[in-house]
Chains A and B, each alone.
Chain A
Amino acid sequence: MNAAVEVHQLVREFKGGIRAVDGLDLEVRDGEIYGFLGPNGAGKTTVVRILTTLLRPTAGHARVAGHDVVGEGDAVRRAIGVALQEAAIDPLMTGRELLRMQGALHGLRGGEARERAAALLERVGLTEAADRRVGGYSGGMRRRLDLALALVHRPHVLFLDEPTTGLDPTSRAALWREVRALHEDGTTVFLTTQYLEEAEQLADRVGIIARGKLVAEGTPESLKARVGEPTVHVEISDPQRGRRACEALAGLGAVERPTERAPTRIGVRTAAGRAAIAPIVRALDEAGVAVEFVEVESPTLDDVFMAVTGSHLEGAATA
């Protein structure tokens, strides 16, 4: 599979020697959603600004859609769509005016730009608000318009910089649906986020950035598998049957025995995760142990982040 984004030893230093990006290497495959996960100040936006030609790297190389971001900026700009962190939309213009202007910036002629604007307004559910000034739009509407603006010229690679930050759950879900639809259409999406749930829900692969470096990369499942297997927790009815239950479950994974504080709780750590629920319940039933309830606890991307950086991801709980 071809690479839509290739980054090699990318460095960006700001005044005072601050290294926002520090020797970053990454590759985004054609057609995938790449979740770029990290806390505030990790360097996500700096990377996006470099990849979208809005910032020059201090060192290293980056190619987007096969073009060098420094030497072939115009070709890169033709291939990409960008929705930056702060939806920089002129509040005095209407949604339709903005889309038509964006169309002209990308070489669409009058009629073509008008049609495309109408189609995109329909797609993001803003047809009714199309002729209202953007200053009166809600945060969610602005984000949807920003997304529509980024799609005017049917970009090959779409950069979304924290697209759902500050949005309510409904608006967030609507945007996620749109991103998934774009993915199905074959658009490559480079998505930065500080929300774990967003990365898990949307991304084919996730890159975790901390202090300007890529500290982990892979599918959400593979990343979580690196920090540990899921644990199936079983709550039994009778604490006197704990020993028997543990014996019955011994062959199904690493058993965590009941403790004094939780005498009815038994854990089974197994790579099978949810798939192990049925065999566990069956084994306990055969051993004559009554089960109150069962739950599966999987490692989260925050656990991955904790494992690779030693700290939790800010905002992880607010997703």
Chain B
Amino acid sequence: MREARVVGALGRRALSVQFRRAQLLMPTFVLPLVLLAVIASGTSAGQGLRGFPDVESYLTFVLAGTIVQGTILAGLTAGIAMASDIEFGFFDRLLAAPVRRTSLVLGRLAGTLSLSLLQTSFFLVVASLFGARFPGSVTGVLGAIALAAITAVAMGAVSAAIAIRTGSLSLLQSLFPFMFVMLFTAPAFFPQDLLVPVLRDVSAFNPLTYVVEGVRGLLAGDDAVGAPWAGFVSAVGLALAGIAIATAALGQRLRRL
């Protein structure tokens, strides 16, 4: 119970600071929507290609990519915030408190989880205002929000592990381009079957592929568009692995002190 309070307090702090720091807010809420606007308006003709899944709206189809992009960015900003805490000494304040070391990681990720819930809901509302429809109904929408939140936790755990391992804010900031590599090696904005063979092969090994398709399937209410269970398996697996890596990195950092 005590550790739950600690995780809650750290999560609240992570979330409130996120909203007070423009350089973290812009990439998590604004950038994905800008990319969505560009892609949805510029490549909508792709929907007419043979082999393109039978979806109700192209906007809903690409929105899954935007949601996953949001999760990566939310995760990355978690790492950036953690590296900033380490670099500027705030992390020492946390280390000097009588709390479980795992709680320090989980607290940060609780903030990421809350951020993702807000972020995905925001994307869905904005997209629906621009005509996106969600045949998957409320259940599908809630499922997509949950899947995105788990994925954000996974991304946050991985970037927190990098932050803990290196303590370098600039390194975390330099990881932004890799976000696009991860995104575009998953069928974020285009069906997997229509990707060039090499990219299609690569995408099969990218865990985000299954998350994107899972979100897509949930919003469409059609497992044929994407299998939600595969998305959840991938996201949960990634999150557990990420948390384990981050916790191990923290243990290693403390042993190195």
A interface residues (Cβ-Cβ under 8 A, vs B): 52-56, 74-75, 77-78, 80, 82, 84, 86, 88-90, 92-93, 97, 100-102, 104-107, 109, 133, 149
Contact = CB atoms under 8 A, between A and B. Distances in A.
A19 B79 CA distance: 33
B50 interface: no
B152 interface: no
Nearest to B256: A56
A104 B96 contact: no
Contacts of A86: 89
Most A Cβ at <10 Å: residue of B9, B88, B98: B98
B257 interface: yes
Interface residues on B, range: 20 to 34
Interface centre among A53, A55, A84, A101 (most CB of B within 10 A): A101
Contact of B9 (A90, A92, A104, A133): A104
B89 A55 contact: no
Given A82-B93, A88-B90, 16 more contacts: A52-B96, A53-B95, A54-B92, A80-B96, A84-B93, A88-B92, A88-B93, A89-B90, A90-B17, A92-B17, A101-B12, A105-B6, A105-B94, A105-B99, A107-B5, A149-B93
Interface of B: 2, 5-6, 8-10, 12-13, 16-17, 20-21, 85, 88-90, 92-99, 255, 257
Contacts of A149: 93
Q: Which of B6, B13, B96 has the most CB atoms of chain A within a 10 A radius of its CB?
A: B96
B196 to A, nearest CB: 45
B6 A90 contact: no
Contact of B97 (A75, A77, A109): A77
A40 B88 CA distance: 20
A318 to B, nearest CB: 24
Contacts of B5: 104, 107, 109
Contact of A78 (B6, B13, B16, B98): B98
11 contacts: A84-B89, A88-B92, A90-B90, A92-B21, A93-B13, A97-B16, A104-B5, A105-B99, A106-B98, A107-B98, A149-B93
A101 B10 contact: yes
A73 to B, nearest CB: 9
B257 A55 contact: yes
Contacts of B20: 92, 133
A211 B231 CA distance: 58
Contact of B6 (A54, A75, A92, A104): A104
Contacts of A52: 96
Contacts of B9: 100-101, 104-105
B89 A104 contact: no
A72 to B, nearest CB: 11
A107 B21 contact: no
Contact of B96 (A53, A92, A100, A109): A53
A49 to B, nearest CB: 8
A77 B97 CA distance: 6
A97 B94 CA distance: 15
Nearest to A53: B96
A105 B20 CA distance: 22
Nearest to A85: B89
Nearest to B12: A101
B16 to A, nearest CB: 7
Contacts of B96: 52-54, 77, 80, 82
Contact of B257 (A56, A84, A97): A56
Nearest to A135: B20
A97 B2 CA distance: 18
Closest 10 A/B residue pairs (Cβ): A88-B89, A104-B9, A105-B97, A77-B98, A78-B98, A92-B20, A82-B96, A92-B17, A88-B90, A101-B9
A90 B8 CA distance: 17
